[in-house]
A and B are shown apart, each in its own frame.
Chain A
Amino acid sequence: MAQIGSSARSSVKGGTFAGLGPLLMLPSWVVIGFFLVLPVILMLVYSFLTKEFRGGVIWEFSVNAYDQFFFNRGLFGDEAPTIEWTYINIFWRSIWQAGLATVLCLFIGFPTAWFIATRSGHSKSMWLFLITIPYWVNLLIRTISLKFLIRDTGPMNTWLMSWGIIDQPIHIINSNLAVQLGLFYSYLPFMVLPIYASVERYDFSLSEAAADLYSTRMETLRQIIIPVVKPGIIAGCILVFVPSLGAFLAPDLLGGSKTFMIGSLIEEQFKGNAGNWPFGAAVSMILLSLVLIALMFYARSQSSARKATRAAD
């Protein structure tokens, strides 16, 4: 994505519409600045305010929201603070779920991306098209479909039982496995596409050279291909991990009440009367900082990969 912004500058000095840049950019600046940047800043401010019962805030500085997240001070707030595990556990569980879903996506996504990228011409674009279609289908509908399929009395269990493979329904719904499956299913195309783009640019003469030097397929894969396409793999992992972390639909529809994740925790603070806006804002800010750390890690790996290719040239 980053190349789109930079490389064109070199093509023509000044450009056809030179000098109009800021003017043409203005509408997007206004819309995104006013309706996204400002709201996020407001959330940051709210996370440092005092809560008002029945939702809302009182304009009084307080770090209570973050305190509540990390520390337990007893029922009346007068005990010595101990670490509050409830919310840290929810975060940890979300990270774990999102991580497992990412690994699952990688194991299925990498071979798929490789297979598609090594097809020729027309069949390549056909395969790619087949992979992209499900991504564009409404996420809610996909999640409902998955729920319908894997319910205890759903078609999957019915078929497996009628074929005599199992005699009791496999209980998946309302479990961690169901959530992982849901996240995996939701974001699998995100894994395939960037890896595909990387493999596309892979120079197959490297594999040939390795084969000439008596490297086996697996050695080539591990020592040459994976290091070379690593930027694509990392991009795919980020694209799956980040939305999984804040996912709301998969845990809500497939996980039931036992598999609370960050998304549901935030939602709960802003819906209904029991809400605690500053706390919800604080949780959102903590989630946002996790995502920004992941993105920074990604940006660094991409720029070091670019440096490496430049050094190789």
Chain B
Amino acid sequence: MRKPFDIKRYPGFFPITCLCLFLLYTPLIVVMVYSFNDSNSITNWGGMSLRWYEEVFYGVESQKFKKAAFNSLSIAICAAITATTLAVCAAMAMLRTGVFRGQTLSFALINLPLMVPEIVTAVATLVFFSAIGFKTGYASILIAHIVFCIPFAYLPIAARMQSVDATYEQAAQDLYATRFEAFRLVLLPLILPGVISGFLLAFIISLDDFIITNFVKGAGIETLPTAIFGSVKQGIKPSIMAISTLLLLLSVVFVTLSYFVGRKGQQTP
């Protein structure tokens, strides 16, 4: 049935939506396509080739990028695991322990990393590390990453925990489960989709970060974004486009994974 006057429809909104997606995707697709360009100049198209990918893995700078990739991935995994653990505890404190003093403040604290501008966090952390004499390097990057990953891990976990009724754990406790058993055998499996998507988001956020890492990393250690930034300062090279494409695909895979895990969780409450 077609209504004479569809109140939900606004002419022009559909083209704008298409324009929005066009603007968001064009630069990414262009870089992906040009990373397969078989020409030394980044401007002219010289046919398809995988030579820049070969350069990334076996070229002159491959050692540097491999090291940076290792740092990035290991920091992202450690930061995401720690942040997710902290976020699960924090979500339980906010949602499953009744009211305690400082709860509102705690909520603000968890979200604080989202509110302070990144550049301020970056310089503040740098200044703080230098004031307490903490040597900048791998550990300082890891700590800074854990801090800003917490809210990203917290949000999906808390959202999930909120949708799970507390009566499940209470039933477990009525049947003589200890609190820890009620958590491990009942609550944790129920909130697992939220935990997984929280972990994946924290992982991507850590992998993506440039500004904070750039400040707290100190000399002699690079992560992928800082290494890429360093190279780009001398001009965009085709091999950078190849690395960007790889990193881009990694992000897309992780987000897609997180999306489907989250959706699956919604279907089976």
**A220 touching B7 in the complex, CB below 8 Å, given contacts A108-B19, A140-B210:** yes
B123 touches A270 (CB 8 A): yes
- Chain B residues in 8 Å Cβ range of A81: none
Residues of B within 8 A of A149 (CB): 26-27, 30-31
Within 8 A of B (CB), among A110-154: 111-112, 114-116, 118, 125, 127, 129-134, 136-142, 144-149, 153-154
| B225 and A138 within 8 A (CB) | yes
Q: Are A42 and B92 in contact (CB under 8 A)?
A: no
Taking the closest CB of chain A, its distance from the CB of B94, in whole angstroms, is 5
Q: Evaluate contact between A207 and B98: CB separation under 8 angstroms.
A: no
How far is it, in angstroms, between the C-alpha of A122 and the C-alpha of B207 when the chains are bound?
A: 30
Min Cβ gap A264→B in Å is 9
How far apart are the CA atoms of A211 and B5 in the complex, in Å? 8
A24 touches B92 (CB 8 A): yes
| Interface membership of B20, Cβ < 8 A | yes
> Which of A131, A133, A145, A243 has the most chain B CB within a 10 Å cutoff?
A145
Q: Is the CB of B86 within 8 A of A111?
A: no
Contact A148:B241 (CB < 8 A) given known A7-B162, A118-B8, A188-B24: yes
Give Cα A145–Cα B228 distance, bound, in whole angstroms. 12
Contact A25 B89 (CB under 8 A): yes
Complexed CA–CA distance, A22 and B97 (Å): 9
Name the contact of A134 in the complex, choosing from B8, B28, B173 (C-beta under 8 A).
Answer: B28
Contact partner of B10 among A17, A39, A111, A133, CB < 8 A? A111
Task: Kindly supply a per-residue 1/0 record for chain B positions 158-174, scoring 1 wherever the CB is within 8 Å of any chain A CB and 0 otherwise.
Answer: 11011001110110010
Q: Is the CB of B12 within 8 A of A136?
A: no
Count, chain A residues at interface, CB 8 A: 105
Assembly CA distance A14 to B173 (angstroms): 14
Chain A contacts of B147 at CB under 8 A?
31-32, 35-36
- Chain A nearest CB from B254 CB (Å) reads 7
Q: Known contacts being A28-B150, A114-B10, A140-B228, is A154 close to B247, with CB within 8 Å?
A: no
Contact B159 A4 (CB under 8 A): yes
B31 touches A144 (CB 8 A): yes
Interface contact B16-A115, CB-CB below 8 Å: yes
How far, in angstroms, from A299 to B98 measured CA to CA in the complex? 25
Which of the residues B10, B43, B98, B100 comes within 8 Å of A221, measured between beta carbons?
B10
- Which B residues are CB-close (under 8 A) to A266? 119-120, 123
Cα A9 to Cα B211 in complex, Å, equals: 37
CB distance B94 to A8 under 8 Å? Answer: yes
Complex interface residues of chain B between 1 and 34 (CB less than 8 A to chain A): 5, 7-10, 12-14, 16-17, 19-21, 23-28, 30-31, 34
Nearest to A152 among chain B residues (CB) is: B43
Given contacts A9-B98, A118-B8, A148-B42, contact A131 B20 (CB under 8 A): yes
Is the beta-carbon distance between A8 and B228 smaller than 8 angstroms?
no
Would you give the 0/1 interface string for A94-106, flagging 1 where the beta carbon is closer than 8 Å to chain B? 0000000000000
CB distance from A96 to the nearest CB of B (A): 17
Q: Which residues of B contact A232 (CB under 8 A)?
A: none
Q: Is the CB of B117 within 8 A of A144?
A: no
| Contacting residues, chain A, for B161 (C-beta < 8 A) | 8
Which residues of B sit under 8 angstroms from A136, Cβ to Cβ?
201, 204, 208, 251-252, 254-255
- In the complex, what residues of A have CB within 8 A of residue B127's CB? 39, 42-43, 46, 270, 277, 281
Which of B7, B123, B128, B166 has a CB less than 8 Å from the CB of A208?
A: B7
User: Contact: A295 with B23, CB < 8 Å?
Assistant: no
| Assembly CA distance A245 to B146 (angstroms) | 24
- Which of B19, B24, B34, B110 is in CB contact (< 8 Å) with A28? B110
Please list the residues of chain A having a beta carbon within 8 angstroms of any beta carbon in chain B: 1-2, 4-5, 7-9, 11-25, 27-29, 31-33, 35-40, 42-43, 46, 56, 108-109, 111-112, 114-116, 118, 125, 127, 129-134, 136-142, 144-149, 153-155, 158, 185, 188-189, 192, 204, 207-208, 210-211, 217, 220-221, 242-243, 245-246, 248-249, 253, 262-263, 266-267, 269-270, 277, 280-281, 284, 287-288, 291-292, 295
Q: List 13 A-B contacts (CB under 8 A).
A: A4-B107, A5-B107, A16-B187, A28-B110, A36-B125, A131-B21, A136-B254, A138-B210, A140-B225, A210-B7, A249-B211, A270-B123, A287-B119
